[in-house]
Amino acid sequence: EKGTYPHYMLKEIDEQPLVMRKIIQNYQDESGDLAIDPTIIDAINEADRLYIIACGTSYHAGLVGKQMIEKMAKIPVEVHVASEFGYNMPLLSEKPLFIFISQSGETADSRAVLVQIKEMGYKALTLTNVPGSTLSREADYTLLLHAGPEIAVASTKAYTAQMAVLTILASVVGKSKGHLADFPVVKELGIIANAMETLCDDKDRFEMIAREYLSVTRNCFFIGRSLDYFVCLEGALKLKEISYIQAEGFAGGELKHGTIALIEEGTPVIALATQEDVNLSIRGNVKEVAARGAHPCIISMEGLEQEGDAYVLPEVNPMLTPLISVVPLQLISYYASLHRGCDVDKPRNLAKSVTVE
Enumerate the active-site residues: 352
Reported as type and span, the H/E element at residue 18 is helix 16-26
- Pick from 153, 299, 329, 336 the residue near ligand M6R by CB under 6 A: 153
- 155 counts as binding ligand M6R under rule CB under 6 A: yes
Nearer of residues 241 and 309 to ligand M6R, judged by Cβ: 241
User: What one-character-per-residue DSSP string does 91-130 give?
Assistant: PP-SSEEEEEEESSS--HHHHHHHHHHHHTT-EEEEEESS
Q: Which of 16, 67, 83, 102 binds ligand M6R (CB under 6 A)?
A: 102
Residue nearest to ligand M6R (CB): 56
Query: Nearest-5° angle of CA 105, CA 110, CA 112?
Result: 120
Q: Which of 16, 83, 110, 330 binds ligand M6R (CB under 6 A)?
A: 110
Between residues 84 and 302, which has the closer beta carbon with respect to ligand M6R?
84
- Using the contact rule CB under 6 A, the part of the chain among 50-58, 202-210, 211-219, 270-278 near ligand M6R is 50-58
For the bound state, the minimum distance from the C-beta of residue 142 to ligand M6R, rounded and expressed in Å, comes to 14
Selected binder of ligand M6R within 113, 154, 164, 227 (CB under 6 A): 154
Stretch that binds ligand M6R, among 138-146, 151-159, 185-193, 292-300 (CB under 6 A): 151-159
Give CA angle at 331 (26, 216), nearest 5°: 160
Binding window for ligand M6R (CB under 6 A); candidates: 55-63, 163-171, 197-205, 275-283? 55-63
Which of 29-37, 96-104, 201-209, 297-305 is the region at the interface with ligand M6R (rule: CB under 6 A)? 96-104
Return the closest-CA partner of residue 235 out of 192, 299, 170. Answer: 299
C-alpha to C-alpha distances, 184 to 32, 169, 187, 188, 232, nearest whole angstrom: 12, 13, 5, 6, 27
Q: Is 330 in the site for ligand M6R (CB under 6 A)?
A: no
Is 107 an interacting residue with respect to ligand M6R (CB under 6 A)? yes
Amino acid (1-letter code) at residue 39: T
Residue 132: CB minimum distance to ligand M6R, A: 14
Q: Of 338, 285, 262, which Cα lies nearest the Cα of 248? A: 262
241 binds ligand M6R (CB under 6 A): yes
3-class DSSP assignment, residue 20? helix
Residue 246 interacts with ligand M6R (CB under 6 A): yes or no: no
Helices and strands: H and E segment counts in the chain: 13, 10
345 is an interface residue for ligand M6R by CB under 6 A: no
Print the binding letters for residues 62-91 with ligand M6R: x by CB under 6 A, - otherwise. Answer: ------------------------------
Any contact of residue 353 with ligand M6R (CB under 6 A)?
Answer: yes
Minimum CB separation from ligand M6R for residue 190, in Å? 26
Residue 124, class by beta-carbon neighbours within 10 Å (0-12 exposed, 13-18 middle, 19+ buried)? buried
Q: Confirm if 185 and 167 have CB atoms less than 8 A apart.
A: yes
Give which of 152, 154, 103, 153 is closest to 127, Cα–Cα: 103
> Residue 178, by phi and psi: left (phi above 0), alpha (psi -120 to 50) or beta?
left
Residue 150 interacts with ligand M6R (CB under 6 A): yes or no:
no
CB of 177 to ligand M6R, least distance (A): 29
The least CB distance from residue 290 to ligand M6R, in Å, is 30
E strands of the chain, at which residues? 49-54, 77-81, 96-102, 123-128, 141-144, 219-224, 246-251, 268-273, 295-301, 311-313
| DSSP-H helix ranges across 215-321 | 227-243, 279-291
Residues that bind ligand M6R (CB under 6 A): 55-58, 102-104, 107, 110, 153-155, 237, 241, 353-354
